[in-house]
Structure 1
Amino acid sequence: MAALTPATPATPATPLQFSGLDAEDITTLDDSTAPTTPDGSSSFSPNLRPQDDDAGYLNVSSLSAALAAAAPAVRNVCFIGAGFVGGPTAAVIALHNPHIRVTVVDKDHTRIRRWNSKHPPIYEPGLNDILRVVRDGSTATKGDAAARQPNLIFTTDVATCVREADVVLIAVNTPTKERGNGAGSATDMAAFEAVTAMVARHASPGAIIVEKSTVPCRTAQLVQDTLALHRPGVEFQVLSNPEFLAAGTAIKDLQHADRILIGSSNTAAGHKAATALASVYASWIPTERIITTNVFSSELAKLVANSMLAQRISSINSIAAVCDATGADIDEVARAVGADPRIGSKFLKAGIGFGGSCFKKDILSLVYLAETLVLPEVAQYWRAVVEMNEFARNRLVTRVLRCLNNTLTGKKVTVLGFAFKKDTNDTRESPALDIIHALAKENPREIAVYDPLCTAPQMAEQIGRYAGTDVLKSNGGPVVVYTDVYGACHGSDAVLITTEFDEFKNGPAEVEAQLEVSSGAAGKLEGTPDNQVVSADDSAAAVDGQLAASLNPVPPCEEDCPECQAEEDSAADKKNDEPQSHRKARLDWTKVYYDMNSPHWVLDGRGVLDISVMEKLGFRVESIGRQSGLARKSFPPKNYR
């Protein structure tokens, strides 16, 4: 059978002539804050005019030639931030570059401990099997599977790892400011600035510093100034390499990236640094998908990409409200509009709006940029996208009240789905949080919450932090977190679907088995040509059979491991804290029906149900922009928000 390409031991670091930083989530190292306004010195700004092949940024042919000729050797890569960006990205880079030592550092000891155990802190389909290969390694077998040395390391020793790295990628969290100037729209750069100062103190001369975090436009100037302040006279190159990952499909997005964006200064040294970073990705990404720009264009492109995707979601949700008031069907409208090749069908699924850590934050960052540039009309335009998203969330709560005679007193409401989207345990900016908070104000007897991937402690902690600990059942409130979906639905007056998990769809089929290795997750197989991505079948085979048997053991947990203890304490779902091991069958809606209270309301906030099938079972269904049988019989529908 096919085998993974054997790894070679990492060689000592060879400092390059540029530095790259990636940051997703890391404990703030100091309390300093960075300016988030776009003004700054023009000394770092490259020529922004269109460039020809001789004077401009690297085009496909010149990049390919540079890689073929003499791309600077990268032997040691350091990611700062072990979160939703740093962890998966580092794992895939390590998989495809067995000759490179990849280190992920974070000040959060608990997070690093979990990355080094069988309980990784985040869930992504395919991630766990990649970790088994690159973190744990494998031994040689009698078959064709060769030994592979581990080349992915998780540690809290930030200074040492930065000092040894050729390329440093900053992947720390850059949330929206909650207080002070620009609160509510500007980006909080405290963690990013603190990490940049630390990198400036410890990085080897000539190291490449890379912005992996989503940052305001012209942040590269801040990084360059910080490096010059702490290390005057020492040359560093600063690159922008934003991520374009979606939670739930991050491994697939990394394996089959539609583009890798690298921004650099328009100088010979900048081009050389960009080529060095491109060489890391070129081990599995075709060079025609590696785009080089000036560094500020790269920073702005990430904000614009997320803002325009969010704009499509808000646009279709605004039309869903029109459908509810006119009798049109949002699925039919979206299908007709999406058939126009100038528009396309993606991100035209109506529901309760977007969540996650990126869309809202990046739109607000773009709003703040426009405001500082004295472009109020631009700021107002993009702010309306966020306002429409909030409108979409509020409409579901309004409809729950309408269905239940405008009162929740003495009633039980069930919320199915806590993560902001399916196939992830990421709860940041989850619509479910706003909905639970709003429902709790209506004095219900109980709000039952269930999610197939989020753990009960995680959900309780997030709800308590967002809505106040007094809403939790343990403190006398109505919110109860369940690990069993049927327990959550038992005795409920209304069931709300707030995340589009396949488990919640109606139908007899089970959720298709989700292999730990998704499309190409096991990496390039032995004998696979360069830049050719292996198929899902090939990658699954690579971790099956002989290779799976030859993987080194998972590092043992400590005796007091809280995740192991949670598994032992959870009688309802022993594996609840290790969701990677399995997925459940689809929900038996017939069973749910007989355990609910009449009139059996289901409010589908994600459009995952076949309404006609649900109505045949006896349910009353409300769905965003889609007409139920009862509504069709009473046409014209009520004009409601």
Structure 2
Amino acid sequence: MKLTVIGTGYLGATHAVCMAELGHEVLGVDISEERIEALRAGRVPFYEPGLAEKLSANLATGRLDFTTDIAAAARFADVHFLTVGTPQHSEGRSADLSQVHGAVTSLVRHMQGSHLIIGKSTVPVGTAADLQLMVSALAAPSTEIRIAWNPEFLREGHAIADTLHPDRIVAGVPGDDAGYAENILRDVYAATLAQGTPFIVTDLETAELVKGAANAFLATKISFINAIAEICDLSGGNVTDLARALGHDDRIGRKFLGAGLGFGGGCLPKDIRAFSARAEQLGATGIPALLGSVDDINLGQRRAVLDTVVRSFDGAVAGRRVTVLGAAFKPNSDDIRDSPGLFIAGSLARIGADVTVYDPQAMEPSKRVLPELTYAPTVYDALHPTEAVVLATEWREFIDLDPVEAACHVDRPLMIDGRNCLPARAWIDAGWDYRGIGRRY
């Protein structure tokens, strides 16, 4: 099939490459000339394991190309994936849909004949119906444009596998012509469906709600175990053992029961706020109350670790040396949006601490955001000669650190394990003052 992907940020670039990998002819479109030039040259503007190799391979086959010409996209295909950003609005918690409206308006102006626009961006419920009214009003005579919704469920660091081998495909189709959109989506994902991937057909509203509900549930689970970790700290319990015991209950499961600094990134925080804001607009009360507490607990985890660092210096942090290991919000990514590690690093610097940061992939974006910090070239350079270490991102490089060797580089062996990912007993035996989240060992 011939497909376009409108928007080549993280979601769009990944989707374009993976659709070409499935054998389709794909044209990616963006207003950023710099981004398009990079992609056409085989350079991915962000870090995602394996994506650069697949980008280059599919460019070489001729199945994949990129352009800034939206008119060319309208001529190239009659199936268009919408993958532009929906950031949090600058004046509140709701989603900013300006990129969605702008991209659709630009595309529709050049359309002739019959087209299907398939939304993948995370949007408030009701957006697809509004877009259908908008495109119907803008479409040229004898041009028919339908809207469908196919939410994405990508995890940064696993985006290729999540696109090519998803655990489900959700197809939100319009009620007046559901078969048309469903058949096209089945054709797009034919190779994936042949692997036995569940294909769930819903109305537009349900498809829009699925992604927000999934993120809300995951965020709630993460904040729940962090709230339990607080009780463990106060009572002497061990949240790691507790989570392991909970995880054997198949009604609960072990995933996302890792206590720590909480969630960050460009999706989960803004998506749960937008989901809550939309629920509030609709008159719902349960979700806004629940997700308000989830958000508060999540942000409180960062402040709690920050307070632990300050207390370790008896409140006098000015001039004290602190190392933060991890700037990306999660491993296998260079995404620093809403990064817990950078929140702590920046907060400590603002109260006078001498802060050094090291991350295997996120150094350059971090320098652009917080140039006042010191950035070390290696993990051991970052440790020498610090007085407190905060492990903020569970990179394998940090998990595999030798605590004995690491102790040789520091002035004071204090390790605040913000991800509960280190073998605590080994670090304690090596002479470290080890402090986890809801666990002492």
Relative to the length of structure 1, the TM-score reads 0.67
The amino acid that maps onto 1:133 is A
Residues in 2 aligned to 1:383 and 1:107: alpha-carbon distance in whole angstroms: 35
Match of 1:70 in 2: none
Match of 1:415 in 2: 324
Alpha-carbon displacement from aligned partner over 1:163-221 (angstroms, at most 9, x marks no partner): 32221111111011112xxx1x1111111111111121123321110111000101011
Residues in 2 aligned to 1:421 and 1:294: alpha-carbon distance in whole angstroms: 33
Match of 1:609 among 408, 418, 422: 422
The amino acid that maps onto 1:307 is A
Match of 2:399 in 1: 505
Preserved CA contact (<8 Å) 2:43 2:52:
no
Residues in 1 aligned to 2:273 and 2:156: alpha-carbon distance in whole angstroms: 20
Alignment size in residue pairs: 439
Residues in 2 aligned to 1:290 and 1:130: alpha-carbon distance in whole angstroms: 25
Counterpart check, 1:597 vs 2:416: no
Preserved CA contact (<8 Å) 1:76 1:102:
yes
Match of 1:163 among 62, 72, 75: 75
Residues in 1 aligned to 2:350 and 2:370: alpha-carbon distance in whole angstroms: 14
Match of 2:265 in 1: 356
Match of 2:51 in 1: 127
The amino acid that maps onto 1:624 is I
Match of 1:112 among 31, 36, 56: 36
Preserved CA contact (<8 Å) 2:112 2:140:
no
Gaps of 5+ in 2: none
The 3 A distance-change label for structure 1 pair 414 and 158 is same
The structural deviation recorded for 1:421 is 0.4
The structural deviation recorded for 1:118 is 4.9
Match of 2:185 in 1: 277
Alpha-carbon displacement from aligned partner over 1:500-546 (angstroms, at most 9, x marks no partner): 1111014xxxxxxxxxxxxxxxxxxxxxxxxxxxxxxxxxxxxxxxx
Match of 2:8 among 82, 93, 98: 82
What's the RMSD between the two structures over aligned residues?
A: 1.5
The amino acid that maps onto 1:461 is R
Preserved CA contact (<8 Å) 2:22 2:191:
yes
SS at 1:337 equivalent: helix
Match of 2:367 in 1: 460
Alpha-carbon displacement from aligned partner over 1:543-562 (angstroms, at most 9, x marks no partner): xxxxxxxxxxxxxxxxxxxx
Counterpart check, 1:489 vs 2:383: yes
The amino acid that maps onto 1:590 is V
The 5 Å alignment of 1:405-444 reads 405-444=314-353
Residues in 1 aligned to 2:129 and 2:206: alpha-carbon distance in whole angstroms: 13
SS at 2:147 equivalent: strand
Preserved CA contact (<8 Å) 1:200 1:226:
no
SS at 2:81 equivalent: strand
Match of 1:142 in 2: none
The structural deviation recorded for 1:617 is 1.5
The amino acid that maps onto 2:189 is Y
Residues in 1 aligned to 2:110 and 2:52: alpha-carbon distance in whole angstroms: 32
SS at 2:342 equivalent: helix
Match of 1:177 among 86, 89, 104: 89
The structural deviation recorded for 1:266 is 2.1
The amino acid that maps onto 2:163 is L
Residues in 2 aligned to 1:288 and 1:485: alpha-carbon distance in whole angstroms: 41
Residues in 1 aligned to 2:18 and 2:97: alpha-carbon distance in whole angstroms: 27
The amino acid that maps onto 1:83 is G
Preserved CA contact (<8 Å) 2:363 2:375:
no
Match of 1:236 among 145, 152, 162: 145
Greater CA drift, 283-292 or 315-324: 283-292
Residues in 1 aligned to 2:203 and 2:345: alpha-carbon distance in whole angstroms: 44
Alpha-carbon displacement from aligned partner over 1:345-384 (angstroms, at most 9, x marks no partner): 1110111000111211121112112211222343112211
The 5 Å alignment of 1:307-456 reads 307-444=216-353, 446-456=354-364
Structure number with greater Rg is 1
Preserved CA contact (<8 Å) 2:327 2:363:
no
Preserved CA contact (<8 Å) 1:241 1:260:
yes
SS at 2:370 equivalent: helix
The structural deviation recorded for 1:328 is 0.6
Residues in 1 aligned to 2:25 and 2:197: alpha-carbon distance in whole angstroms: 26
Residues in 2 aligned to 1:455 and 1:597: alpha-carbon distance in whole angstroms: 24
Residues in 2 aligned to 1:241 and 1:256: alpha-carbon distance in whole angstroms: 15
Preserved CA contact (<8 Å) 2:390 2:417:
yes
Residues in 1 aligned to 2:88 and 2:135: alpha-carbon distance in whole angstroms: 25
Residues in 2 aligned to 1:326 and 1:418: alpha-carbon distance in whole angstroms: 31
SS at 2:408 equivalent: helix
SS at 1:207 equivalent: strand
SS at 1:217 equivalent: coil
Counterpart check, 1:194 vs 2:102: yes
The 5 Å alignment of 1:620-635 reads 620-628=433-441
Residues in 2 aligned to 1:590 and 1:285: alpha-carbon distance in whole angstroms: 50
Q: Could you say which structure has the higher helix fraction? A: 2
Alpha-carbon displacement from aligned partner over 1:560-604 (angstroms, at most 9, x marks no partner): xxxxxxxxxxxxxxxxxxxxxxxxxxx344332112112x11111
Match of 1:93 in 2: 19
SS at 2:170 equivalent: strand
The amino acid that maps onto 1:157 is D
| Structure of greater relative contact order (alpha carbons < 8 Å, 6+ residues apart) | 1
The 5 Å alignment of 1:474-485 reads 479-485=373-379
The 3 A distance-change label for structure 1 pair 330 and 425 is same
Alpha-carbon displacement from aligned partner over 1:375-418 (angstroms, at most 9, x marks no partner): 23431122111111011111110111122222212211111111
